[in-house]
Structures are given as structure tokens and as C-alpha cells.
Amino acid sequence: MGQTGPLLSVKNVSKEFYGNVVLQDVSFELHEGEILGLVGENGAGKTTLMRILFGMPVIAETGGFKGTIEIDGRPVSFSSPFDALDAGIGMVHQEFSLIPGFSTTENIVLNRESMRPSLLNEVFGERMSILDRTLMRQRSESAIAKLGVTLDPDMLVTEMPVGHKQFTEIAREISRDHSRILVLDEPTAVLTESEAQVLLTSLRRLASEGVAIIFISHRLQEVLDLADRVVVLRDGVVVKDSPTKGLSIRDIASWMVGRSVSGETEQQDSHRTLGEPILTVEHLWVDMPGETVRDVSFSVQRGEIFGIGGLAGQGKLGVPNGIMGLYPAGGLIRLGDRALTLNDPAGALRAGMAFVSEDRRGVGLLLDESLDWNIAFTAMQVHGQYLKSLLGGLIKLRDEKAMAELSQEYINLLDIKCTSHKQKARELSGGNQQKICLAKAFALKPQVLFVSEPTRGIDIGAKKLVLDTLRRYNREYGTTIVMVSSELEELRSICDRIAIVDEGRIAGILPAHRDSADFGLLMAGQVKETHAMEASRE
Amino acid sequence: MQWRLPVNNIKTFIQDFGWPRIIIFLFLVSLFILAPVVGVRLDASISDVMNRFGQYAILVLALVPMIQSGAGLNFGLALGIVAGLLGSTLSLQLELRSFLGFFGAIGLATPFAVLFGYFYGKLLNKVKGEEMTIAMYVGFSFVMLMCIMWLILPYNNPTMVWGYAGKGLRTTITVEGYWLKILNNFLAIKIGEFFVFPTGLLLFVALCAFLMWVFLKTKTGTAMTAVGSNPDFARASGISADRMRLISVVISTFLGAVGIIVYQQSFGFIQLYTAPNPMVFPAVAAILIGGASINKANIINVIVGTFLFQGLLTMTPSVINSILQTDMSEVIRMIVSNGMILYALTRKTKVSK
């Protein structure tokens, strides 16, 4: 079977949420052993499409969908994920769904454990059977072997590195007897580069055994490397369905955003005139879990865009969080010629600094409040703006009108896609939420703006917009920006100088136009500090 | 497929409003329709409902600040009620009468309310995430402690102390001759034999509700709401979440004190000892019926909720008892108030998921 027709075909699928069309007439086919790359910007409808495919109840609750899904040429309709599993569709979600206190084996064969009859069966029936640990172990080992990776079958999930969790989850999906279609939603997002390579290799292996794979990823290079065919979604419509052979990243990227994307690294005009040092940091330590800063000193000049890079967990995120008073910190920080009190978020804001947190949903937004609250709140609390006085200044009330005007201004300026300034922040897509965070910081009119991972988890189009906005603010208002990012290329495209943080210390500060290999060496801890300092002085 | 849209709209509406609320609303409407049929006077009933609405509304309003600041439903409202009891007994002890007596009671209750609220708030800040459970036990144990205090505090107004011993406060103390129905009778409109419109009472409730509404629109009120919505966001905006929560607890406790004094002047008696305990759950149930959730509440929720809940409590005994010839009111009150709290708590887990 399957040699003639497609294994899975999606025909004219449309879906709307409360009148908001998210998928329109989407059709594509998937053949046995084929790897299909599904790409699109945030909010393009990828997740919704996968939810439909997997029979998630949220789809039925919101009015179902139009169109048909066929497996082996027969139309199917799933009312729950269990139906989808029975039909041979396995899904690996962005967030892990593993039981932390269980071992690899137990997670892989969960709810399909091998049983041995016991005495109690006579009385209480099947439910009293005993687990057949040996057989379970064999089954999980065979699933792991099929993946071609090494996993300890007895390791508890809590003790696993992230990569192993991802593999465990995939192993669980392929250990089902009749898994024929595997859907992976951003499986490499949490993996290191080498782990991602291993994953891609095992996926290829699975495909060669006849499993059809739908691979969703933001990392276009991976999609190009792995997929046989790529389907590009834009605003709920399939804009391109083509074999990957001969495509370049730029082709896919431009289909995704619907406009041609200029090269990612725009070289800076390397000799800009910058002002006197505005922010001086000396011997900063920050106790931020997972991102400890031990001893960091640097100084930023007025009007500069200063980058802080480095590998995850080395402490680069701790720097802005410590300076802004969100985590216990010590050291000496001077803004202009004033020394700053540490561990005082209100003081840091009042001094003229602002911070766009890397934890957008956790720290950056009031998800359940309207956009105007999100944008105006900090300025209101810190500078007393957007308040109107009543009774001769005795009572100050929220000035809803001024708040609305402010948010409308930023909605237009940053091209934030929303129904109105009264929409809840939760309902926006990741990129638009990030823009709200930026608007909140801009509304403070800061002298020094810290932005932490401003492009994490948002798509190419929004990324470019965010970076352009930062650059424009820097050029037009002279705002000094300190940007922390894991993506070196992004830092190089916008910053004047970049500091690399390694093990809680600055490994070196280099001008952005230096070769990326130099930065790579700093990240790897290859360069002695003295050497790096020399380089920064050139 | 055209016909599906209105059905969906109705479905969304029902989902947002919630079945329990709709059932209670329909039940109340049917009680009003039934009343004349079984011989219960409608005008007297409506007058009753308004009276009880006024009696309880401020106690319900007292829950709003803590819900907004994320400290949950104030199951420890009994603390505020005790502060109010101290205020009103002191007012009687000092022989304050009429409006001076009523506002004097509020004034005398204020320092206690602020003090209790302050320490209660400090405690709640230490047990974030478990506020509601802890609050309930704080309320229970404090009421019990006060049971001892009412006996040994040196009150000596003869209308208040036990006659045979000459000391120790009675369980029920009348405010007649001091400030009985001082608000209810202020500008009251009497129509016919059975209908009285308690203008002063409702005006006072409206004033309190208005002040709360204004407060929630101030800078501090806005900060408080933000703390309840996302404490980390508020902290990153330079706001001390603990301070905001503390303020909300103090306001809540103070309003609890005001609420019980308003209740007493209308009801006619100061009830001491374990009496504060059964005041709390109905207030919580009322605001939940009004549509509040564990972390969002507004003035409309208070008004709608108090009206529905008290309406139900007023109408059930008269109407149902006339039909069944038996007293079901207490049973129905228990089912409705505890059922409503249960419903709201289950909804919380659904939302946070």
C-alpha cells in the first residue's frame, strides 16, 4: 500500500477562530518515507494545522474546521488525539510531555506497558497484572536503537539533559507498532548544535524505514538539510510547495515573509562618533540562577549599541537583570556621573534606564490586561505620566485617553498587528508581543535601554523589524542600547562593540566588524583575557 | 452553516457567564413570579431584598482589593469584622448616639482594622500561593481568641454586659437607642404599608462603591491590579508587590469593619463571639456569583452578586416555605454559597492551566 497514492493528504482545510481566519484552503500531500518541512512565520497557522491533524479537542470546541484529511485515500475525522494515535500519527510537541519521575523506559512505553499475569488476575481481572520490566526494556531499547542514539533506558527524566528528553519523546512516538506519520514541532529549538545534528541523522534514518515526517522548524538551514519537500505557510495560506533541491535559505525566507529579505549581516559604519562613557560597570556580580555573573566590568559610550554575547548559561543574561535590580547583585555601576543603587528596580528605572526582559511572557507582559496598560503602565508608575489630576492634584487618576493615544502611536509606529489597543496581550503572536515590550520600554524615554534576547522565538520578518526599530531609535534619539543575544550574527548586524561573556566574566570585547571566528574563539574560552583586551583597544 | 453562528454566540455567552449563575438568576426570577401566586407580598419582598442588599454589599465590596492584588478571596474577612465589632462596642461603651455613634464606631474601628490588616497582610505575604487556606484559619483562630477577649475586656455599659455578672459582653447586643437603622431611615421613602426604600443605606453603599472604583483607577490602584495580574511584571516596573498586597489587605480589612457596622445598624444587633465566622462565606459566594474570578473582580460583580445572592436568600424562605410548609432556607443558603465557592475554585484550576 502507499506506493501509488499519498499516505496523508490534507485537502482544502480552512479554520477560523471567532471569525478570524487562520487557515484558508490548505492542501498538501505526504508520501511514505518523505520528510516534509513546514515553515512559516509565527501566526502563519502551523500550530493550528497540526492541531487539526492531531484531533486536538480545542479545534472541535471552537467550531471544527472545513475540508478533509485523508489517510491512505480514506477520509478520517479525529475527535481526540487518541484517534490520531490509532491512525498512526505520532506527535512531538514543543514542550516536553514526559513524566519527570519516570525512567526513559517507563516514559517510552507509558500506557502500553508489557504485562505479565499474576495471581490476583483470577480475582480482580486484567488490571492486576504485573509489569514485565524485561520486555519493556527490550522494547524501549529497540526504539532507541531505531533512532540511532545512545540513551540510558533507566535514567530518570529529571536527570536527563534537554537533548535526551527530546529523544525520549521521539522514541516514544516511534515505539508504537504502527506509527507511520511523525510530526515534530520545533524539535531542535532546545537542542545544542551537535544534538540537533544527531537528531537530524536519526530522522533521516526513520524516513528511510518508511516513516513519513512533518518537520516544523524556524531554523531554515535544518529544513533545507533534512526535508525532501518544503511547504511554506503565510497568513494561513500555502504560498509554496516545492522540493528542497536547489532552494536557498533566502528563497524560503522571502516566501515566508512575502518580501525579499536583505542579507542578515548588514555591516555597520564602523567609525561612528560616539559620546563620553555613559554607563560604567565595575566588578559586577549577579546571583541569577543559571546565569551567574561573577566579575564583569565594561563601559558603554553615549549613543553606542553595545552587544553582550556568549553561550547559554555563561552569565550574559545576568548582566542586564542584575543592573536593573531584578536579581541580587553587587559591584559599582555609574550612569553618567551618578553611582546607582543596586537591587532597586524602581531606582534603576527612575535613573533613566529601561529593560526589555528575555522572559517576555513571564516578566515582560501583563498577559491578561489590554495593550494600553502594557505599554503605559511602567511610564505611569515610574514617571507619573498618563495620569490626570482631580481636585487640585489631590487625586490622580489613570488618563485612559492619553494611554490610548500613546498605544495607538506605538501600534502604528511598530506595525503591531492587533484588533485595537484594548485587545489582551495574551492574544497577540510572539513577534507582536515583543513589539509591545519594546513599546513599553520606549515609552519610558530611557537614556540607556537594555534589551535581552529581543528576537528569541519570533520569526524572520518580525526579527528584522525589531532590529530595525532598535537601530532607528538609536540613530534618531541617541538612545544608548545594550543588547544581549545568543545569536552572534544578530549582534554583529546591529552593534558597535560586542562583549563575550564566558563563565561569568568578560572574555573579551571586540568591535562588531571583526571576523566571527574571533568571537567564536572567545566563546570557547580559547583566548586569554589579556590578549582580548588588547584586541578591544585597537 | 449560517445558523451555527448565533448558536455559537449563545454558547460563548453561557460559557463566559457560567451555568451556575444562569441557574441562580432564573431561579430568582421564578421566585419573584411565584411570590404573588403563593400569597407573598411582592412589595414587601422587594423592600426586603433591597435592605439585605445594602446590609451585605460593603462586606462583599471588601473582597475586591485583595482579589485585584492577587491575594485571592479574603477568607480572613472575619478579622475586619472583629475590628468592626470592637468599633461598635466601643461606640456603645462611650454612649455615642445617632450619626455620631455610627461614624464614631467606624472611626474607633479604623485603628484596629489597620493594625489587624497590617499583620494579617505581612503573614499573607509570607505564604504566597496558599493565601486562601491560611486566611481561613487565621480568621477562625482569631475569632476564637476574641471569644475570650469579649469576656475579659473591661466593658461596663449595662446594655452590653451580662446582667447577672456585671461583666463580660453578651452574645447579642441591641443598638436600639444608639444608632439603630440610622442609615436605613435617612431620607427613607415609604410607599404604602409594606414598602420602604432605604435611601440612606443605598447611598452609603453607592459612596463606598464609588470610592473603590476611583481607587482602582488611581496610580496605586493600577499598580495593585498589575501585581495581581503578573507580580514579576510589576516588580520589573519598580513596584513592590509585597507593599501593594499589604495595602490591599489593609483596605479589605477596613472595609470589612465598615461593612459589619453598616450591617449592625440595619439588622439592629451587634453579634459577638462566633458570629463573624458565618458572615464570610456568603460574602465570598456573592462576589463569585456576581462573576468575579479568583484574580479579577470589579464593582459590577459586587452589585450583581450581592443582589442575586441576597435576593435568593430573601425570597427562598418566604416563597418555598409557603409552598412546602417547611423551613428550607438554611439548606438552600448552604447549597448555594458553598456550591458557588466550590465552582469558582474549580474554575481557577481550569484557567491557570
The whole-angstrom distance between B330's CA and the closest CA on chain A is 38
Q: Which grid coordinates are listed for A210?
A: 518508511
A364–B223 CB contact, under 8 Å: no
3-state secondary structure B152-172: HCCCCCCCCECCCCCCCECCE
A366–B4 CB contact, under 8 Å: no
Q: How far apart are CA A210 and CA A213, in angstroms?
A: 9
The confidence band for A524, taking pLDDT boundaries of 50, 70 and 90, is: low
A369–B225 CB contact, under 8 Å: yes
What's the confidence (pLDDT) of residue A535? 46
The overall pTM is greater than 0.90: no
Kindly state whether residues A294 and A219 are assigned to the same domain.
no
The torsion angles phi and psi of A183, rounded to 5 degrees, stand at -110, 125
What's the confidence (pLDDT) of residue B177? 87
Q: Which grid coordinates are listed for A130?
A: 504485573
From the candidates B2, B219, B235, B293, which should be mutated to test the interface with A, based on the most A CB atoms within 10 A? B219
The whole-angstrom distance between B15's CA and the closest CA on chain A is 11
Instruction: State which residue of chain A sits closest to B225, comparing Cα positions.
Output: A369
Is B5 part of a structural domain of the chain? no
Q: Which residues of A237-250 are buried (b: 16+ CB within 10 A; e: fewer)?
A: bbebeeebeebeee
B236–A326 CB contact, under 8 Å: yes
DSSP B92-158: HHTT--HHHHHHHHHHHHHHHHHHHHHHHHHHHHHTTT-HHHHHHHHHHHHHHHHHHHHHHS----T
B236–A357 CB contact, under 8 Å: yes
Q: SS3 of B26, please?
A: helix
Q: How far apart are CA B302 and CA B212, in angstroms?
A: 11
Domain count, chain A: 3
Residues of B with a Cβ under 8 Å from any A Cβ are 4, 8, 214, 217-219, 222-223, 225-226, 229-230, 232-233, 235-240, 296
Q: How far apart are CA B244 and CA A285, in angstroms?
A: 29
B233–A345 CB contact, under 8 Å: no
Kindly state whether residues A124 and A242 are assigned to the same domain.
no
For residue A517, pLDDT over 80 is answered with: no
Instruction: State which residue of chain A sits closest to B215, comparing Cα positions.
Output: A397
- Look at the block and give the residue holding cell 536503537: A145
Instruction: State which residue of chain B sits closest to A369, comparing Cα positions.
Output: B229
How many other CB atoms are found less than 10 A from the CB of residue A71?
Answer: 18
Is A269 part of a structural domain of the chain? no
For residue B306, pLDDT over 60 is answered with: yes
Question: Closest partner residue to B230 among A350, A366, A398, by Cβ?
Answer: A366
Is B54 part of a structural domain of the chain? yes
A378–B218 CB contact, under 8 Å: no
Is A271 part of a structural domain of the chain? no
Is B339 part of a structural domain of the chain? no
Q: How far apart are CA A434 and CA A360, in angstroms?
A: 7
Query: Where a domain ends, among A260, A294, A320?
Result: A260
What's the confidence (pLDDT) of residue B116? 95
B233–A324 CB contact, under 8 Å: no
- Look at the block and give the residue holding cell 462573576: B291
CB contact set of B275 (below 8 Å; sequence gap of 6+): B171
The whole-angstrom distance between B248's CA and the closest CA on chain A is 17
Is B15 part of a structural domain of the chain? no
Is A267 part of a structural domain of the chain? no
Highest mean pLDDT among A78-87, A144-153, B66-75: B66-75
B238–A345 CB contact, under 8 Å: yes
Instruction: State which residue of chain A sits closest to B352, comparing Cα positions.
Output: A368
Look at residues A509, A444, A433, A447 and name the one whose alpha carbon lies nearest to residue A481. A447
Contacts of residue B230 in chain A, CB cutoff 8 Å? 362-363, 365-368
How many residue pairs from chains A and B have C-beta atoms closer than 8 A?
Answer: 75
B226–A364 CB contact, under 8 Å: no
Kindly state whether residues A382 and A476 are assigned to the same domain.
yes
Query: Where a domain ends, among A214, A230, A260?
Result: A260
Q: SS3 of A527, please?
A: coil
Query: What whole-number percentage of chain B has pLDDT above 70?
Result: 94
From the candidates B230, B348, B351, which should be mutated to test the interface with A, based on the most A CB atoms within 10 A? B230
What's the confidence (pLDDT) of residue A483? 93
The confidence band for B87, taking pLDDT boundaries of 50, 70 and 90, is: very high
Look at residues A346, A335, A342, A407 and name the one whose alpha carbon lies nearest to residue A382. A346
Q: How far apart are CA A81 and CA A55, in angstroms?
A: 5
Instruction: State which residue of chain B sits closest to A345, comparing Cα positions.
Output: B238
User: Which range of residues forms the domain containing residue A327?
Assistant: 277-537
For B53-86, the pLDDT digits (tens) are 999 999 999 999 999 998 988 999 999 999 999 9
A345–B235 CB contact, under 8 Å: yes
For A25-54, the pLDDT digits (tens) are 899 999 988 999 998 766 678 878 888 888
Is B59 part of a structural domain of the chain? yes
Is A270 part of a structural domain of the chain? no
Rounded to an integer, the average pLDDT of B265-272 is 91
Kindly state whether residues A319 and A448 are assigned to the same domain.
yes
- Mean pLDDT over each residue of chain B, to the nearest integer: 86
User: Which range of residues forms the domain containing residue B85?
Assistant: 42-275
Contacts of residue B229 in chain A, CB cutoff 8 Å? 366-369
Is B144 part of a structural domain of the chain? yes
From the candidates A62, A358, A366, A375, which should be mutated to test the interface with B, based on the most B CB atoms within 10 A? A366
Contacts of residue B4 in chain A, CB cutoff 8 Å? 63
Kindly state whether residues A404 and A529 are assigned to the same domain.
yes
- Look at the block and give the residue holding cell 459586587: B302
Domain count, chain B: 1
B236–A363 CB contact, under 8 Å: yes
For residue A528, pLDDT over 60 is answered with: no
Is A272 part of a structural domain of the chain? no
Kindly state whether residues A231 and A243 are assigned to the same domain.
yes
* CATH number for A461: 3.40.50.300
DSSP A55-116: T-HHHHHTT--EEEEEETTEEE--SSHHHHHHTTEEEE-SS----TTSBHHHHHTTTS--EE
Rounded to an integer, the average pLDDT of A223-238 is 87
